[in-house]
Structure 1
Amino acid sequence: MSNEKVDFSLKETSPKIGGGRVSGSERLTSSFDLVEQLHFLYVRIVRARGLAEPCDPFVEIKIGNYRATSRDFENRFDPEWNQVFAFTKDRIQAVSVEVSVRDKVSAAIIGVVSFPISDIPSRVPPDSPLAPIWYILEDQDGKKGERGELMMTVWMGTQADEVFPEAWHADAAAVSGESITNTRSKVYLSPRLWYLRINIIQAQDLVFPNRNRKPEVLVKGILGHLVLRSRVSKDNSINPTWNEDMMFVAAEPFDDPLTLTVEDKIGENMEECLGKCVIHLSKVQKRNLPMAASANWYNLERIVKEGEEGRDVRFASRLHMRVSLDGGYHVADESTYYSSDFRATAKMLWKAPIGVLELGILNATGLIPMKSKNQKGTTDAYCVAKYGPKWVRTRTIVDSLVPKWHEQYTWEVYDPYTVISIGVFDNCHLEGGRGRDQTIGKVRIRLSTLQSDRIYTLSYPLIVLHLGGVKKMGELQLAVRFTCSNLTNLLICYSQPLFPKMHYSHPLSVFQIDSLRDQASNILCLRLSRAEPPLRREVVEYMLDVGSNMWSMRKGKANFARIVAALDGLVVAWKYLNEICKWKNPTGTVFAHFLFLVVLANPQMIIVAFFVGCFFLGLWNFRNRPRRPLHMDTKISLAETATPDELDEEFDRFPSAAPVNRLRVRYDRLRGIAGRCILVMGDIATQLERFRSLLSWRDPRATMLFVAFCFVASVVVFVTPYKVLLAVGGFYVMRHPRLRVSLPSAPQNFFRRLPTRLDSML
């Protein structure tokens, strides 16, 4: 690694954004008040009529050094283009706009229309669009003749204009053809994901070709490209039983049917199909509440083998199953710690939103060149942001190391304990490129660490870990605002479970959740890659942190260091007690003895003193509360001190590329087990850090609630006899099972929503 000192810190910026203020001609709509105004000259070419002679017409727009051309038509008198062109006003060095209709074959000018730029009107939404006007085409000498007419509109606007995303931008003049669609900003929606549960109960009247051997029967489920197998039934008969669940992730619309086959295992890698059934998911029962789905018998179709055509074979095999689409679960497509949504699949289980998240993607500075073009390094950067099912992609700024996007997007918020992720990528699909879009960096922001109605304008370092070590790829400037619509509903969220009820009444195992998350991320990659322009697999996987649970020595050391740091308070208390016992501070020791005597005389004051102390400590820490949201910290992640051997192991593919087969199997098994240990260590560190965050004001609303609770609890404990409190607590712990509920209690839900230093992990 380089010895050069790199600044990975978070910086505050002061961009010239609206922030909700509207004044005169410099106004933007309130929905675009987190970005700077970018002024554009828009030219909408609608159609032409009455052209003078048969030709292959196209339109050329000339503004100083800018030139833009529309698509052409063959042998048309009345072509219709309906195209919009956008030119950055700051780069215009001309006094007029010249629009000419040309013939593609002869390159001759059919007619011209020109406008002085000073006379072009301005328009800002929500004003209605300007009506297009028919202009009479002139020849090059300015004479109007029988050359036809051109319908068009010219106006000055901003990025708030509704035609902005679809317009051809002069900044992308080097991109042409079909690649121009890869430069435009788009909004994507994730498909609605369901858990498909197949409870395999029993098969009946199976027909075995070979009756001289004991059958080994299993059920194989196929959905799309995914194949799952049940265990081999222990009943070696024609009526085997399983009572086993098989789970898939299915996405609406349900394109692929569910295919179930009953197989007889012959040898190690051979299976013989005994029958199959095909189930269309549109006909499957949807289960939104924790009630068992109805069990049905499904007829199995016989697989006709070669040479059996025309034979009369009696076949009445059936399969007894419960098949349901479970909408009461939240289908996880990202890590629980970085999740942007916890809602169930079924919309009837959704609660009202608690606020709105607004994100202004301003610009990037100091980007590292990602490719070579014209003997110089350059970057074609664009941003992708994900929150909940909504993905947004900014336009691609071509050939710039300091791109300026100034685009603003909005999401509804249903839970404050969620994270929005913003990634920056280099577009490698311009000019017919077919490579993978390269990663420049990612930013994560947890909403619970944001104050309501405050605009955060920060410059985030873009940090990427390579084989060569940690590297700063540039900085991304963002403007973020979380607006709370109802403070009461927001505070109530801290006492509610994170996940829907089905996760607690019918919990899934850790291995099931990991497997289903892999299925969900793969479905998202396939669906989003079918959009236009596509959101490609490498982008989706990077945003969803696919493969983040693999073994890493660096992460293991970092999580261990987090545990040590979380226990720092106990170490300090032990050192202070040791100093008291050794009389290193006589004044403090005398005070400790006096406090000890007071406690002996009034033991009921212990709890009161604890809550009062927490109350005043929380108030004292208010002045030192964090002013900025958390961001990736290279020191906490130990990214700066990782050795090349550790990085080589971390970036080793899975399965490993070791040449010896046995060594590869053992090594991969060790990495899998070690990865689980790292997750457990991370969970322990997370729980300990949540205790420390109670009074840190990292989440201002949570700390406010806890401080208020400490005050009320201190009063209640003071006025209530100590024995009564012990009796109530004891009877509550030993309460009857009928008085218990399967859902977590309000203190547990509150504790699980507290922020941790996991948000700073790289």
Structure 2
Amino acid sequence: SFKEPMFQVKAQLGFQVLRTKPAVAPNGSPSWNEDFMFVAAEPFGDGYLVLTLEHRGPKGLMVVGVALVALATIERRVDDRKVVAKWFTFDNLGLGGGDEKRGYKGRVQLRLCFDGGYHVMDEPAHVCSDYRPTARQLWKPAVGTVELGIIGCRNLVPTKVVNGKGSVDAYAVAKYGPKWVRTRTVLDNLDPKWNEQHTWKVYDPCTVITLGVFDSWGIFEADEPPDPTCQDVRIGKVRIRISTLQSGRVYRNMYPLLFLTPSGLKKMGDIELAVRFVRSTPTIDVLHVYSQPLLPLMHHIKPLSLGQQEMLRNSAAKILAAHLSRSEPPLRCEVVLYMLDADSHSFSMRKVRANWYRIISLVAGVIDVVRWVEDTRTWKNPTATILVHALLVMLVWFPDLIIPTLAFYIFVIGAWNYRFRSKTMLPHFDPKMSLAENIDRDELDEEFDVMPSSRPPEVVRSRYDKLRTLGARVQTVLGDIATQGERVQALVTWKDPRATGIFVGLCFVVAIILYLIPSKMVAMASGFYYLRHPLFRDRAPSPAINFFRRLPSQADRLL
């Protein structure tokens, strides 16, 4: 017998392994109450879910018993109905010799089901090509079809040497939803032509079709000895968002094939594509899709955590890569993982800075509005300030016009920007926005480094120090944000009795004034006071800002 036994259950489906937390079982009946999710691919055949009961003792883990659950016997559900729990028996199957008699080792109560209401992503969410649930009975009718013409490439950069000259054996792979297509391989040609056309059904226009170009190894014997572990070389990738296509219009363009290597950004050539979206339902049905949830209903009823989503996505990518490697013609594992962006979540200082500049570009519009307001209230353009006074009077005395005026203003902006829309070229990878043109070599080397790092200790130490410097800046910004929020809380928490007394007293006075004086008069007076001429304004900060900056925060309590 065990003293204070601790048990845990290991669940394994193929290469996917999950374990429960250890549970103490003084009475021999441990309880876990944990939910596990696996990715299972049909057909199930003779597949099993293997459950192993393990005992955690002072000498390590010891297997107590094993239970096998045939996948074909597990029930299916498409909603959030409760699944009936069943008992499964642990025995010593496979723990001893082959002729050993099976013995009873306990039972475990499980709720098992195939959840068809979820969509298992195998791509990043922002470039996903399909959002449908797994169960076919939940699929909605298609809203159209997308036709992709893969015409050919030009000026490809040689990736290997054959018979003393550069060579490329190029082929293209396109993916949209669960359907993958592969062109034929054009041998030893830097300007390959395919002239192939493929069609997919479109269920959601807010999806992305992905096309990649690769160089096939193993067809020709290169000057060097053949390496069986050599992978197909990535040449480039193109993404096209279906929602950017006008219905019925053919877009035929040349797209640069850009590929980021440890030595920098390279243009590997150009590819010519023709794409067309054909609507098969009324326009109102296509527009109705924009009001529907992006993911199936189960993702909103019982949402998955970020950790679960990432784990399921990695598992789905591996299962899909193994399946396509057995197809005809086969797709190699590195090709599938590149098309699925399996390494998109790896750390990159370049992506950190690129995302920061994206945020800055978004905030720039707000900053421009703030500057315009500041210029208006300082009378830098007297005509504009007088017009703002007139607009203020109109909106204060006729408040019903505020929302219509704002809506009409947004309409004018959208109608004006319609003139500058792209009419021919579709959006493509932007090296400038990606900061891939003039990237630091050390940052690029860090981006392509494996996990754990394979670089010398001094290089890792230098990168760690740089990361600490960046972390110190982030720490300061987070501290400033927390300080401002705590100052807002300090207005009514009496941490500074004088400041809270002043604020509460002013709130009482404001309430009495607003009770006695019409709100239109107060709004008018406040607006004119805010827009007063600089001759009547002090250049020092306002009393309200001075008061707020004097409020206490929790920063002085940190060690």
- Aligned: 1:301 with 2:91: yes
Q: How far did 1:613 drift?
A: 1.2
Distance 1:298 1:310 in 2: 20
**Which one of the candidate residues 350, 353, 359 is aligned to 1:563?**
359
- Residues 426 and 439 of structure 1 are in contact (CA less than 8 Å); yes or no, is this contact kept in structure 2? yes
Partner of 1:609: 405
Deviation at 1:618, TM superposition (A): 2.0
- Give the C-alpha shift of residue 271 in structure 1: 1.6
State the one-letter code of the partner of 2:54: E
Runs of 4+ in 1 over 4 A off after TM superposition: 303-311
Q: Deviations over 1:423-444 (max 9, x none)?
A: 0000113147532000000000
- The one of 243, 267, 284 equivalent to 2:74 is 284
Q: Displacement of 1:502 after TM fit? A: 0.6
Gaps of at least 5 residues in structure 2 are 475-559
Aligned twin of 2:491: none
Higher strand proportion (structure 1 or 2): 1
609 and 375 in structure 1: CA distance in 2 versus 1, 3 angstrom threshold:
same
Deviation digits for residues 585-636 of structure 1 (CA, Å, limit 9, x no counterpart): 2222221222222222222211111011112222222222222321100111
1:230 aligns with 2:25: no
Displacement after TM superposition at 1:506 (Å):
0.9
Of 238, 245, 248, the residue aligned with 2:38 is 248
Say whether 1:473 aligns with 2:262. no
Q: Give the 5 Å matches for 1:101-180.
A: none
Find the counterpart in structure 2 of residue 576 from structure 1.
Answer: 372
Which residue number corresponds to residue 657 of structure 1?
454
**One-letter code aligned to 1:448:** S
Going from structure 1 to structure 2, the CA distance change for 1:377 and 1:217 (only over 3 Å counts) comes to same
| Distance in 1 (alpha carbons) for counterparts of 2:98 and 2:234 | 56
Once the two structures are superposed, what CA deviation does each residue of 1:268-289 show, in whole Å capped at 9, x if it has no partner? 7x32111111111111101111
Secondary structure in 1 matching 2:346: coil
Contact 1:285 1:323 in 2 (8 A): yes
Residue 343 (str. 1) matches residue 343 (str. 2): no
Instruction: Give the Å deviation of 1:574.
Output: 1.6
In the other structure, the counterpart of 1:318 is 107
Letter of the structure 2 residue corresponding to residue 241 of structure 1? S
Counterpart of 2:135, as a letter, is A
% same residue: 46
Cα distance change on mapping 1:378 and 1:488 into 2, 3 Å:
same
Q: Distance in 2 between matches of 1:591 and 1:342?
A: 49
Match of residue 152 from structure 2: 363
Alignment of 1:259-274 (within 5 A): 259-267=50-58, 270-274=60-64
Which residue does the alignment assign to 1:549? Answer: 345
Cα distance change, pair 585–384 in 1 and its aligned pair in 2 (3 A): same
Flag the 1:212–1:233 CA change in 2: closer, same or farther, 3 A: closer
Instruction: State the partner residue of 1:385.
Output: 174
Whether contact under 8 Å (2:251, 2:275) holds in the other structure is: yes
Q: 1:600 aligns with which of 392, 396, 410?
A: 396
Q: For 2:3, which of 203, 213, 217 is the aligned residue?
A: 213
Distance across 2 between alignment mates of 1:305 and 1:370: 51
SS at match of 1:246: coil
Aligned pair in 2 of structure 1 residues 415, 563: CA closer, same or farther (>3 Å)?
A: same
Counterpart of 2:302 (choices 485, 499, 506) is: 506
Q: 2:184 matched to 1:422?
A: no
Alignment of 1:490 onto 2:286? yes
Deviation at 1:307, TM superposition (A): 9.1
Question: 1:320/1:595 Cα in 2 relative to 1: closer, same or farther (>3 Å)?
Answer: same
Question: What SS does structure 1 have at the residue aligned with 2:389?
Answer: helix
Q: Contact between 2:64 and 2:105, CA under 8 Å: does it hold in 1?
A: no
Matching of residue 451 in structure 1 with residue 241 in structure 2: no
Question: Can you give the 5+ residue segments of structure 1 that lack an aligned partner in the other structure?
Answer: 1-210, 678-762
Offset from partner CA, 1:505-538 (integer Å, 9 cap, x none): 0111000000010100000111111123310000
Deviation at 1:467, TM superposition (A): 1.2
In structure 1, distance between residues paired with 2:104 and 2:271: 66
2: distance between equivalents of 1:497 and 1:527?
A: 30
Quickly say closer, same or farther: Cα 1:442–1:267, change in 2 above 3 A.
farther
Aligned partners of 1:301, 1:262: CA distance in 2, in Å?
A: 10
Match of 1:113 in 2: none
Q: CA deviation at 1:235?
A: 3.3
Tell me the amino acid that sits aligned with residue 640 of structure 1: E
475-484 vs 256-265, greater mean Cα deviation: 256-265
CA contact (8 A) 1:363 1:404 kept: yes
One-letter identity of the residue aligned with 2:343: G
1:274–1:303: 8 Å Cα contact kept in structure 2?
no
CA distance in 2 between counterparts of 1:457 and 1:385 reads 16
Partner SS for 1:604: helix
**Matched position secondary structure for 2:32:** strand
Could you tell me which amino acid in structure 2 is paired with residue 408 of structure 1?
Q
Q: Distance in 2 between matches of 1:300 and 1:528?
A: 35
Q: Distance in 2 between matches of 1:658 and 1:592?
A: 61
C-alpha separation between the residues in 2 aligned to 1:451 and 1:307? Answer: 67
SS in 2 for 1:277: strand
